[in-house]
Chains A and B, each alone.
Chain A
Amino acid sequence: MSGAVLKQQQWWAHAALVIAAFSLLALMIGLAVSIGEISIPLATTAKAVSNRLFGSVFELSRIHQGIIWDYRLSRALVAASAGASLALSGAVLQALLRNPLAEPYVLGVSAGASTGAVCVMLLGFGYGVLSLSGGAFIGAVVAFLLVAFLAAGAGGSSERIILCGVAGSQLFNAVTSYIVTTSANAEQARGVMFWLLGSLSGVRWPDVYLVVPVTMFGFAVSLFHVRSLDAFVFGTDAAASLGIAVRRVQVVLLGTTALMTATVVSMVGAIGFVGLVIPHAARFLVGARHDRLLPATMFGGGIFLIGADIISRIIIPQQVLPIGVVTALFGTPAFAVILYRARRTA
C-alpha cells in the first residue's frame, strides 16, 4: 500500500517540479523581453507581445514593437535554447567521458568553428554562398569528424577521446592564428576572437527556427539514452557488461552533442562556462541519475543564459558586454559555492 502511495506522491512532486521549472523559464523570458539596453515600460511590452501573439491592435511605436518582438523575444528564445543545448551537451559528455571537467568544446567543435569563420571572413571561402555562420558550422563539423577519426584510431577510451579533442582544438586554433596573421588586412586581429566570448546580438527569428528544433532533437536522443548514460558511470567495460552497446551509444551521443554544439557555436559564438558548470549545479540539486539530471540541466542552462544575456545588456549603459564575460563572472563564484557545499556533504 505504502509503495503505491509513495509512487503517486513522487509523481505529483515531479509534476510540481516540472511546472515550477517551466514557470521560471517563462518568467526569465518575460524579463528578457522587458529589460534591455533601452527602457520600455512594461505595459508597452505587454501590448507589443499581445499584438503579435493575439492579433490585438494596440497603438505602439513601430520601433518599440520591432525591438520587443523581433529583437528581444527572438533573442530570449535563442538564449534559452543555446543554454539548454550547451548544458545538455556538457552533462552528456561528462557522463560519457567520465570526466567532471568535460564540456561541449572538448572535442574541438569551437576551435573548428573559429577556423571555419576565419576562412569565410579572411580567405573568402564560398564568397556569396556561405555566410559566416555557415562557414563556422562546417568548420565545427570537420573538426569534430577529425577528432572522432583520431579517437577511433587511438582506441576510443575516454582518456584517448579527450586527448584527441585537445589535439584537434590546438590544431584548428593554430590554423586560425596562421590565417589571421598572414591575411593582408591592416587592422588589429581582435575581431576574429569574438568566437571565444560569444554574442547573442545578431539573432533574429530565423535563428530561433533553427536552434529550437536542434535542441529538442538533442534532448529526445539524450533522454532515450538515460539508462546508458547512468551505466557509463563505472567505465565502458562495466557498461558493456550491463548490456549497453557501448560503441553505438558513444557514436550517437557524441555525434548529437557535436551537432547541438556546432549549431550553437556557429550561431552565437563560443559561450563558455555553461556546458561545464550547469551540469554540476543540476547534479547538486537533483542528484546524478540522468533521468532527472538531463531535464534539470536543460532548464538550468536555459535560465542561466537568459539571465546572463540580460545582465550583459544592462550592466554597462549603452554598451553590450560580451556574454562570455558575464557567464564567467557570475558562473565562477556560483561554481565555487557548489564545490564548497559538495565538499562538506562528501
Chain B
Amino acid sequence: MRKFLAAIALAFGFAGLTAPSLAATQYPLIINNCGREVVFDKAPAKIVSIGQGMSEVLFSLGLADRIAGTAVWVGPVLPQYAEVNARIKRLADNDPSFEFVVGREPDLVAAEFEWHVGQQGSVGKREQFAELGINTYIAPADCVAKINADSGDGVRKELFTMDLIYREIAELAEIFDIKERGDALIAELRQREARAVASVAGAAAKNLLVVFWFSSKEVNGDAFIAGKNTAPAYILKTLGAQNVVATEEEWPLVGWETIAEANPAVIVIATMDRRRYAADDPAVKLDFLAKDPVTSQLDAVRNKRFVMMDAQSMNPTIRTIDGIEILAKGINSFGLAQ
C-alpha cells in the first residue's frame, strides 16, 4: 500500500515537472459505454457510486474527495480506504432510491451492475439520469459480452478478464483527466498478477480441477458455483487451473452429484459477512463437506485442500487480483505447484 502511494507521489511529481500535453484529456470527451455514448464536457466534480467494486476502483484512483455518496455494499471496504470511506455518506447498504441519488446532485453516477442502473435498473434507467443532466457510467465488466436480461446473475458469453477492469480504470482516468494515476494503478495490478502466476509455475498446477463454492440455498442442496466465464474462471485460467463446470451462467446452481463426480483437487470456499442462507457461513460449508456421505469421500475434503476466499474477490472487480494471489498461495501451500 505504501509502495503504491509512493508511486502515485512520484507520478504526480513527474506530472508537475513535464508539460501535461499528451496525457491530458481533450474535452468534450465522448466515451462509448455499454452501448451508449456519454459526453463529458469536463471532469465530473461530484460522483455517486453504486456498487462496492466501483467505489473501490474510484478510491484506488484517488477520487474519494469527489464522491458525494455510495451505495450497495457487500462487505467491509478494503482496509486501506476505510478512513476515506468513513467520511463519505453511505446512501444505502442495498439499492438506493432514484430520488435519494439525484438528491446528492451528482454530475456522474457510476454503477457496477446494469441491474442497478440500466434498462431494468432498480435505481433508474440511464435516460432518467440523462434527462436531469447526469451522466452515467457502467462498469464494462457487466455489459461486455454479458446478457443481463433475466433477474438472475446473468449469462456471460466471453471469459471475463482483468482487461475489462483495466479498461474501466483507463476510461475513468480519462474522464477525470488523471491518466497518470490510472496508468500507475494498472501497472501495479498487472505486476501483482504476474507475480502470482509465477509463483505457481510448476507443471502440477496445470489443469488442476478447482471449484469455487459461493453458497447454497439449503446447506444440503444444490450449490452456487462459478460458471466458466466468471471472474473465478479467469483466476483459474491465469493460474493454469480448470473449472469443474462449463456453463455460461455466472453462478449456476449445480448438484453435488456433478461436483463429486468431477472430484476437484481444491475447493475454494467463499467467506462473507452476509448470513442470508445458512450456507453463507464458511464454517457451515466446511461442516457439510466433512459430514455429507458423498463429499466426505472427495480428495479435496479428505486432504483438507480448502482455500478460504473473500466473496468479493469472486466478483469481477479489482479484488480479483486478490483472488489470484490467495488461490496461488493456497495451491503452493498444498504442495500442488511442484
Pick the contact of B217: A131, A194, A319 (CB < 8 A).
A194
B276 CB contacts on chain A under 8 angstroms: 121-122, 185, 187, 191
Pick the contact of A191: B52, B74, B277 (CB < 8 A).
B277
Q: Verify A313–B255 contact, CB threshold 8 A.
A: yes
Interface majority SS (helix, strand, loop, mixed), chain A:
loop
Residue of A whose beta carbon sits closest to that of B151: A190
Q: Verify B93–A37 contact, CB threshold 8 A.
A: no
Q: Verify B293–A70 contact, CB threshold 8 A.
A: yes
Which residues between 228 and 268 of chain B lie within 8 Å of chain A, taking CB atoms?
245-247, 249, 252-258, 260-261, 263
Q: Looking at the complex, which of B129-137, B138-146, B218-226 is the stretch in contact with chain A?
A: B218-226
Looking at the assembled complex, report how far the CB atom of B139 sits from the nearest CB atom of chain A, in whole angstroms: 16
Once the chains are docked, how many angstroms separate the CA of A320 from the CA of B221? 11
Q: Does B274 contact A (CB under 8 A)?
A: yes
B72 CB contacts on chain A under 8 angstroms: 186
Residue of B whose beta carbon sits closest to that of A61: B297
Looking at the assembled complex, report how far the CB atom of B122 sits from the nearest CB atom of chain A, in whole angstroms: 9
Q: Does B15 contact A (CB under 8 A)?
A: no
Once the chains are docked, how many angstroms separate the CA of A121 from the CA of B215? 14
Q: Verify B74–A319 contact, CB threshold 8 A.
A: no
Q: Does A204 contact B (CB under 8 A)?
A: yes
Once the chains are docked, how many angstroms separate the CA of A259 from the CA of B263? 40
Q: Verify B278–A186 contact, CB threshold 8 A.
A: no
Pick the contact of A62: B73, B115, B253, B297 (CB < 8 A).
B297
Which residues between 188 and 242 of chain B lie within 8 Å of chain A, taking CB atoms?
217-222
Looking at the assembled complex, report how far the CB atom of B307 sits from the nearest CB atom of chain A, in whole angstroms: 22
Q: Does B294 contact A (CB under 8 A)?
A: yes
Q: Verify B294–A201 contact, CB threshold 8 A.
A: no
Q: Does A67 contact B (CB under 8 A)?
A: yes
Q: Does A184 contact B (CB under 8 A)?
A: yes
Looking at the assembled complex, report how far the CB atom of A52 sits from the nearest CB atom of chain B, in whole angstroms: 11
Looking at the assembled complex, report how far the CB atom of A127 sits from the nearest CB atom of chain B, in whole angstroms: 9
Q: How large is the interface on A (under 10, 10 to 19, 20 to 34, 35 or more residues)?
A: 20 to 34
Once the chains are docked, how many angstroms separate the CA of A66 from the CA of B278? 23
Q: Verify A188–B115 contact, CB threshold 8 A.
A: yes
Which residues between 134 and 184 of chain B lie within 8 Å of chain A, taking CB atoms?
151-152
| Residue among A66, A121, A124, A318 with most chain B CB within 10 A | A318
Q: Does A125 contact B (CB under 8 A)?
A: no
Looking at the assembled complex, report how far the CB atom of B176 sits from the nearest CB atom of chain A, in whole angstroms: 26
Once the chains are docked, how many angstroms separate the CA of A201 from the CA of B221? 4
B333 CB contacts on chain A under 8 angstroms: none
Q: Does B2 contact A (CB under 8 A)?
A: no
Looking at the assembled complex, report how far the CB atom of B209 sits from the nearest CB atom of chain A, in whole angstroms: 14
Q: Verify B247–A318 contact, CB threshold 8 A.
A: yes
Once the chains are docked, how many angstroms separate the CA of A206 from the CA of B152? 32
Pick the contact of A202: B152, B221, B252, B294 (CB < 8 A).
B221
Q: Does A36 contact B (CB under 8 A)?
A: yes
Pick the contact of B74: A62, A71, A132, A186 (CB < 8 A).
A186
B327 CB contacts on chain A under 8 angstroms: none
Once the chains are docked, how many angstroms separate the CA of A127 from the CA of B157? 40
Residue of B whose beta carbon sits closest to that of A267: B218
Residue of B whose beta carbon sits closest to that of A200: B221
List 27 A-B residue pairs with CB atoms under 8 Å apart, sorted by A's residue number. A37-B258, A38-B257, A62-B297, A63-B260, A63-B263, A63-B298, A66-B260, A66-B297, A69-B293, A183-B94, A184-B93, A185-B274, A186-B73, A186-B274, A187-B276, A191-B276, A194-B217, A199-B218, A199-B222, A201-B218, A202-B217, A203-B220, A318-B247, A318-B252, A318-B254, A319-B249, A319-B254
Q: 10 closest A-B pairs (Cβ-Cβ)?
A: A202-B221, A202-B218, A66-B294, A201-B221, A202-B220, A38-B261, A66-B293, A201-B222, A70-B293, A37-B257
